[in-house]
Chains A and B, each alone.
Chain A
Amino acid sequence: MTAFIQFVIDVLSLGGAYALMALGLVIVYGILKLVNFAYGELIMVAGYTMYLVSGSGLPWLVMAMVAVMMSILAGIATDYIAFRPVRAKSVTAVLITSFAFSTLLQNAALLFISPRPRNVPLPEVFSNTVEFAGVITPARNLITIATAVVMLTLFAWLMQRTVLGIAMRAAATNFTMARMLGVPANLIISSAFAISGLMAGVVSMLWIGRIGAVVPGIGLEPLLIAFIATVIGGMRSLQGAVLGGFLLAFIDTGLNYTLPQDLLKFRDAFTFSLVILILLWRPQGLLKGPATGQRT
């Protein structure tokens, strides 16, 4: 029984983080039908901001808010630098500019900060353990679950109840029609990037809490996780992204518990093959999402 609870906590905390990562990616994809390869670097930006402000002596929560703000700004910058100039011209061009922007940010961190890992401040609760129903688990797992619940609720409220959310969902369903009805395209796209940055910033706090340090390449793994989760769940459906995140966490944790040691190192090859298979079998993912509109 304790093993089962342990498993559930592991899946939920990992899944919560994965779901937030996937949401940040899919919110942009849903509207633009374009993948943002620079998404992982938003997580890196938040991490390095934490490192840079760590000497300031501010409370951790304030520093974390500054870091999240920076990653939101970086998200909006992605839109202005990598997407807006080429958006209307060619799909391939946008994919390449976002890949280039990701390389740019990564190597800027290498150039201006350091290739070596940098420590980031963590609040004390992150390293504590708590006993929960007979299971000893790190407190950050429970914090992750709680944060994911709060963020997902907030996000659902934003998308369902506010004008911005409704406009964004309209843009994701049929962009041209939404524009004709007076939804400002650039504002909506920039807001999507800002929300993407918000998700990345929050995830960054949780993700770096596991490692305690930040390196220039830290964004790759979250990006890949977000890719897999959205592909499994459905590239155009927000619910699908959340479902995909939890499902992927379930698969990963399950494989961790069951696979023998010498096959475990091939785990990523298994999961990526799974992605390819799912895309072939159901190109739209498990949940279908709204019907495609025309891309701008």
Chain B
Amino acid sequence: MTRHFLTAAILIGLIVALVVATEIIGVRLYTRIALNLCIGLILVLGLQVFMGNSGILSFAHIGFMGIGAYTTAVLTIPARMKGMALPDLYPFLVDVQISPYLGILIGGLMAATVAAAVSYPLMRLSDAAAVITSFALLMVLHTVMTNWSALTNGPRTLFGLPKATDLPMAAGVAILAVIAALAFKESRTGLLLRASRDDEVAAGAMGAHIPHLRWRAFVLSALFAGIGGALWGHFITSFSPRAFYLKETFVILGMLVIGGANTVTGAVIGAFIVTAAFETLRAVEGALNRAQIFSEQVVGLTEVVLAMAMIAVLSLRPGGLFSTREIGTLLLRRARQREDKE
């Protein structure tokens, strides 16, 4: 961890600068975007913890985000609203009403518990088989969320969550996520896992219990995703299962891949770049729609551009913008090289 002090400082500085700038400008739209960015950061860092260290692509994380959001929803929607929001709720849950902060924590823990329970056997798989099972897991989670009406109000929108997430809080959690991701990367588990990513056979031969290592990373990243989802739930206050599906998976993956999956810096920078591009394009889309230049609504422009950017980045730099070294390491290296020249 000590070797990453500079990286941590720079990344945390970025997040703090974002919050301060937004608070000074004080426009509600920007606050909203910054908050979305912070939640996106938590999710991307969660995905990075698993994908970056184990080298296995996972589609399931948005599903765990959904688990976090629905868990806190069931626990925190005010009792008098529950009759309307969740008409078929099990009787013993109807009177439960806890503080949103506790709900967010439990949401994260619930996601981690579900991940811990279902994922252990899946961690034995690598390559394409692992990807297909994680895709299947996303489908299973989505189907359950769409159809377990008693807890999720089915495919319909669930409303009535108390608004509790504000920008400093989301930014605080994002900063914790940065620190946790860096710490995990340098921990014993993280190191062994990265060894297995680079050479599965050699790491196994040296005694690394690969499925177990992957499982730890997966559970930790599900915890991130659950907390991120719960925070998002208390920010947006109403959502449906469609919010936790392929489109969102694509955005989160795009952030991580463009930035570079192997580094925490990549995850953070990717989230910043993609959010900036996304919001700009969305503004363009909105302006086009308001000006009514085209007879029909313009939809999908944002995704088209993001998809092209992903393909371009991967063709030119398969590892993303920061493919192997954290930003702190890069800067120190450059400084040392300059010294050597002088």
Contact = CB atoms under 8 A, between A and B. Distances in A.
B307 A107 contact: yes
B122 A276 contact: yes
Contacts of B315: 85-86, 97
Interface stretch (A141-149, A167-175, A249-257, A263-271): A263-271
A93 B246 CA distance: 18
Given A96-B253, A99-B253, A275 B132 contact: yes
A34 B133 CA distance: 14
A142 B129 CA distance: 35
Given A81-B311, A99-B253, A103-B303, A265 B139 contact: no
A276 B296 CA distance: 42
A268 B298 CA distance: 32
A93 B132 contact: no
A109 B246 CA distance: 17
A53 interface: no
Contact of A275 (B136, B250, B311): B136
What secondary structure prevails in chain A residues at the interface with B?
Answer: helix
Interface stretch (B67-75, B140-148, B266-274, B330-338): B140-148
Contacts of A82: 311
A96 B318 CA distance: 10
A95 B131 contact: yes
B24 interface: no
A81 B312 CA distance: 10
Nearest to A92: B57
B132 A99 contact: no
Interface in B54-72: 55-57
Contacts of A99: 250, 253
A106 B304 CA distance: 8
Contact of B147 (A91, A266, A283): A266
B304 A97 contact: no
A111 B257 contact: no
Interface in A91-123: 91-93, 95-97, 99-101, 103-104, 106-111, 114-115
B29 interface: no
Interface in B139-180: 139-140, 143-144, 147
Contacts of B122: 276, 280
Given A269-B140, A269-B143, A272-B140, A101 B307 contact: yes
Contact of A97 (B132, B314, B319): B314
A245 to B, nearest CB: 16
Given A92-B261, A100-B307, A101-B307, A86 B314 contact: yes
A280 B124 contact: yes
Interface string A29-44: 1000111000000000
Interface in A151-182: none
B204 interface: no
Contacts of B254: 100
A111 B253 contact: no
A273 interface: yes
Contacts of A90: 318-319
A269 B143 CA distance: 6
Contacts of A279: 125, 129, 132-133
**Of listed A82, A86, A104, residue having the most chain B CB within 10 A:** A104
A231 interface: yes
A207 interface: no
Contacts of B55: 92
A114 B296 contact: yes
Given A268-B143, A276-B133, A276-B136, 4 more contacts: A95-B57, A111-B304, A115-B299, A227-B135
8 contacts: A86-B314, A100-B250, A104-B304, A107-B301, A110-B299, A269-B147, A276-B122, A280-B122
Ordered nearest first, which 3 A-B pairs have the shortest CB separation? A107-B300, A110-B300, A85-B315
Interface of A: 29, 33-35, 81-82, 85-86, 89-93, 95-97, 99-101, 103-104, 106-111, 114-115, 216, 220, 224, 227, 231, 235, 265-266, 268-269, 272-273, 275-276, 279-280, 283
